[in-house]
Structure 1
Amino acid sequence: MQQPMAWGGEPEIIMLTHVLASPISVYMAEGVGMRSIGVYGEDYADSAQYDDLAVLFHGAGHYEALRVFGRA
């Protein structure tokens, strides 16, 4: 987002999958770990420009960039 204090939500994540031509996985905190709650842009899975793009959903439409380690 170009303006301070302005954030993107689900529509912006969907559009970002098209801009980056890559899927984006969404996770939510659960206990001491995380669980996958969805993937946007799955159509790009076979031809992704970027690997392992992920965000952490905090609720109320708030997302944070996430780096996932140790994915099998």
Structure 2
Amino acid sequence: MHIHRFLEDDFDTYTGQMRKPHVWGGEPELLMSSHVLQMPITVVMEDKKSKNLKVIAEYGQEYGEDNPICVIYHGYGHYDAFKNSNNTTYSQK
């Protein structure tokens, strides 16, 4: 796994930072979560012009593409999980 491409600092600095209170995860944690859970994770974001959701990242595609864990990215480092109850497809990156 190539987690280092997502890190701004070296691994030890990053893990030291992540141990602090009120520090939230991001791409490295989504990548690792897909492998721990052995499930795909799809990250979407609202397109400000069209108000549609578009796929901005996918992790764990080697575990299949059906029923991914869906996460919406709001910007500024904030993600929320959500349920895609109507099996909506999203525009790609």
Same fold per superposition (TM over 0.5): yes
Equivalent of 2:51 in 29, 32, 35: 32
Query: Higher strand proportion, which one?
Result: 1
Identity %: 39
Aligned-pair distance for 1:35?
Answer: 1.3
Tell me, which stretches of 5 or more residues in structure 1 are unaligned? none
Matched, 1:45 2:64: yes
Q: CA RMSD in A?
A: 2.5
Matched, 1:56 2:72: yes
Higher RCO by CA contacts (8 Å cutoff, separation 6 or greater): 1
Paired letter, 1:36: V
Paired letter, 1:16: S
TM normalised by structure 1 equals 0.75
SS, match of residue 39 in structure 2: coil
TM normalised by structure 2 equals 0.60
Give the whole-Å Cα distance in 2 for the aligned partners of 1:65 and 1:14: 15
Aligned-pair distance for 1:68?
Answer: 1.1
Q: Say which one has the larger Rg.
A: 2
Query: Higher helix proportion, which one?
Result: 2
Tell me, which stretches of 5 or more residues in structure 2 are unaligned? 1-17, 89-93
- Residue 87 of structure 2 is matched in structure 1 by 71
Name which of structure 1's ranges 18-27 and 4-13 shifts more when overlaid on structure 2: 4-13
Alignment size in residue pairs: 69
**Conserved 8 A contact 1:56-1:66:** yes
Aligned-pair distance for 1:32?
Answer: 3.2
